[in-house]
Amino acid sequence: DSGVTQTPKHLITATGQRVTLRCSPRSGDLSVYWYQQSLDQGLQFLIQYYNGEERAKGNILERFSAQQFPDLHSELNLSSLELGDSALYFCASSVLFGTIYFGEGSWLTVV
C-alpha cells in the first residue's frame, strides 16, 4: 500500500459526459501528479500540483482540468468525454523532488 488513495477504482460512462477522479496523497506529500495510461502508450504526464498551485503541465487536453485543495487532495475533471479518453488514470504523490508513489489508478471506460 503506497498510501495514495484514488477513487473510484472503476467508472463506466457515456460519451459527452463529465466525470471527476479523486486522489488523496500520502500523508506529508505536497506534490500530486496525474498520469494517463492508455493502450500502447506509456504513462502520459498530464499535470502536477504542489501545495495547491499548478506546478507543471503536460499533455492535458483543454477538456480536462484539475485542482488541488487546501487539504491537499486533488481532483481531475474530464468533460465532453470521448471514446479515446478510455484509459487508466494514475495519481501519484511525493515531497518536492522526491520519489513518487502511485495510487492504484482509476479505470475509466467511455462507451
Binding residues (CB under 8 A) for another protein: these are 2, 31, 33, 35, 41-43, 45, 48, 50, 55-56, 58, 90, 96-105
Q: Report CA-CA distances (Å) from 50 to 24, 53, 94, 107.
A: 13, 5, 9, 24
Cα 89 from chain centroid (whole Å): 5
CA distance 14 to 3: 31
- Judged by beta carbon, residue 14 or residue 97, the one nearer another protein is 97
79 vs 88, beta carbon nearer another protein = 88
Q: Decide whether 2 or 80 has the Cβ nearer to another protein.
A: 2
Residue with cell 495510487: 103
Q: How far is the CB of 10 from another protein (least distance, A)?
A: 13
